Amino acid sequence: MARVTVEDCLRRQLNRFMLVHAAAKRVRQMREGAEYLVHSPKNEEIVIALREIAVGGVRIEQKKMEPKEKA
C-alpha cells in the first residue's frame, strides 16, 4: 500500500469518529508493546495504525447501551 487514505479506512469503520477512536486506541496498544500487524518501516505509529485499519486488522466492538432506570 503506497498511501493510506481516510477513504481506505472508512471502508472498515462506520464513520470518522469510530475511525479516530480505533486509531487512537491502536496507537496506545502499540506504545504499550503490542506487535505491529503490518510491516511499515520508517512510519509513525499513527500511520501504521491507519494502515492496519485499512487492511482490516483492527476492529472495535460496539457495546450496547443499557437503558437507565428512572429514579
Note the pLDDT tens digit of each residue in 11-41: 888 888 988 988 999 999 999 999 998 888 8
Q: Is the pLDDT of residue 71 over 70?
A: no
CATH superfamily membership of 6-54: RNA polymerase subunit, RPB6/omega (3.90.940.10)
- Cell numbers at 18, concatenated: 469510530
CA distance 70 to 1: 51
Note the pLDDT tens digit of each residue in 1-10: 567 888 888 8
Boundaries of every domain in the chain:
6-54
Name residues whose C-beta falls within 8 Å of residue 62's C-beta, 6 or more positions apart in sequence. none
Cα 18 to its chain centre, rounded Å, is: 8
